Amino acid sequence: MKSILLTGTAGFIGSNFVPYFLEKYEEYNLINLDLLTYAGNLQNLKECEANPRYKFIKGDICNRELVEFIFNEYDIHGVIHFAAESHVDNSIKNPGVFVQTNVNGTFTLIDVAYKSWMQKPFVYKEEYKNCRFHHISTDEVYGTLGETGLFTEATPYAPNSPYSASKASSDMIVRAYNETYGMNTVITNCSNNYGPKQHDEKLIPTIIRNALKGNPIPIYGDGKNIRDWLYVLDHCKGIDIVYHTGNSGEVYNVGGRNERTNLQIVDRICTILDEKVPKEKSYKELITFVEDRAGHDRRYAIDATKLEDELGWRADENFDTGIVKTIDWYLKKYNI
Ligand SMILES: NC(=O)c1ccc[n+]([C@@H]2O[C@H](COP(=O)([O-])OP(=O)(O)OC[C@H]3O[C@@H](n4cnc5c(N)ncnc54)[C@H](O)[C@@H]3O)[C@@H](O)[C@H]2O)c1
């Protein structure tokens, strides 16, 4: 039985990943290290609590002593690193914690992994051969696109927000550990996720929650910013495939080929809510434009051809199917 260290899985993507991964791989123990910041919620992992192959540890990925203790105590044979400060708006107000967690935290984890698994550069200790460090990152590291074009793995990094700059920096650290020390690393850069368990602060939960409460639904600027939306479970399946079959040192983009403007998103959600929970007036009347986010990237879109062609990944959901599942989950959450 091998132990894998997962970080930040009390958050949105990790808490969708853990139940999926636990069920699929009976040969793994999963150790979840999470600081439980405002973004982490153990309720998200209630379904896994009783599983003897799952253990939660509350702590900071920047705490080197703790990370070393976990590697020794649980004989860690792999890392899948989700933990991060992840909200762009917060990074504009308070960038320091993004650098601390996303850059220093990633450094601490990979450096402890290196010292635990390897004798010297390019030489793994016999018992840790094939141990892999998987870094979860974002398409935001590539900056913003014009009306056409897609981000590929060869697109030069041009992060624009303190969030994306801190994620880009962490990607570079992981890259350096592969190049300099020969560590077995993979990086996945994914587009915007949506689905169950996402924090209230993010766009889609904000739309659904405000609509159901009859509050104004805030939309930044002119609502024409474009994101490439991926259902969270499809991201989890991509991570699984890359962790198990990706080539060391490689970067894989993960994206759903589902570009939508924020206006299209809010319109679709309101249409579905009008059908499922009709009120006197359409939910669309609640849409309210608010002052744009500073430095708001205009368009992100991912070319996932490498992951699809080389590793056989395919998204199972498109936006129209995934958003219905998501809305159903929130209706249940709000007992509607
Ligand atoms: N949500 C998206 O659309 C998206 C898209 C692409 C990539 N990503 C990346 O995926 C990863 C997970 O994103 P998410 O949306 O689940 O984030 P999230 O904000 O929902 O969860 C982050 C988790 O990390 C934990 N955490 C924060 N600081 C920590 C620290 N110092 N030590 C230990 N744990 C800490 C939090 O408690 C929380 O549980 C992040 O690395 C993010 O950059 C997210």
The amino acid at residue 261 is T
Query: How many domains does the structure of the chain reveal?
Result: 1
Average pLDDT score over residue span 105-114: 98
- Known catalytic membership, residue 128: no
Q: Does a structural domain hold residue 10?
A: yes
Report which ligand 1 atom has the smallest distance to the Cα of 10: 39
- Known catalytic membership, residue 163: yes
Closest of 117, 105, 108, 171 to residue 2, by C-alpha: 117
83: CA distance to ligand 1 center in Å?
4
Q: Please provide the average confidence, as pLDDT, over all residues in the chain.
A: 97
* pLDDT classification of 275: cutoffs 50, 70, 90: very high
Average pLDDT score over residue span 265-290: 97
Give the CATH number for residue 251.
Answer: 3.40.50.720
- Known catalytic membership, residue 320: no
Say if ligand 1 is within 6 A of residue 12 CB: yes
Helices (H) and strands (E) in the chain, counts: 11, 15
Q: Which residues are paired to 124 by β-bridges?
A: 118
Say if ligand 1 is within 6 A of residue 238 CB: no
Average pLDDT score over residue span 308-331: 97
Q: Does a structural domain hold residue 30?
A: yes
Q: Which residues are paired to 287 by β-bridges?
A: 217
Average pLDDT score over residue span 91-115: 98
- pLDDT (tens digit per residue) in 147-165: 999 999 999 999 999 999 9
Q: Does a structural domain hold residue 323?
A: no
Say if ligand 1 is within 6 A of residue 40 CB: yes
Q: Does a structural domain hold residue 289?
A: no
Residue closest by Cα to atom 28 of ligand 1:
84
Q: Tell which one of 20, 37, 260 to mutate to probe ligand 1, the residue whose CB is within 8 A of the most ligand atoms.
A: 37
Q: Tell which one of 86, 90, 166, 199 to mutate to probe ligand 1, the residue whose CB is within 8 A of the most ligand atoms.
A: 86
Q: Which domain holds residue 43?
A: 2-194+232-256+300-316
List of residues 6+ apart from 211 with CB closer than 8 A:
217, 269, 270, 273, 283, 286
Q: Does a structural domain hold residue 146?
A: yes
Residue from 139, 171, 259, 317 carrying the catalytic annotation = 139
Question: DSSP character for 184?
Answer: -
Q: Does a structural domain hold residue 213?
A: no
82: CA distance to ligand 1 center in Å?
5
- pLDDT (tens digit per residue) in 238-265: 999 999 999 999 999 999 899 999 999 9
Q: Does a structural domain hold residue 140?
A: yes
Residue from 28, 54, 142, 163 carrying the catalytic annotation = 163
Residue closest by Cα to atom 11 of ligand 1:
82
**pLDDT of amino acid 256:** 87
Give the DSSP letter string of 102-161.
IIIIHHHHHHHHHHHHEEETTEE-GGGTT-EEEEEEEGGGG----SS--B-TTSPP---S
125: CA distance to ligand 1 center in Å?
31
189: CA distance to ligand 1 center in Å?
13
Closest of 326, 317, 334, 248 to residue 12, by C-alpha: 326
List of residues 6+ apart from 272 with CB closer than 8 A:
323, 324, 327
- pLDDT (tens digit per residue) in 205-234: 999 999 999 999 999 999 999 999 999 999
Q: Does a structural domain hold residue 202?
A: no
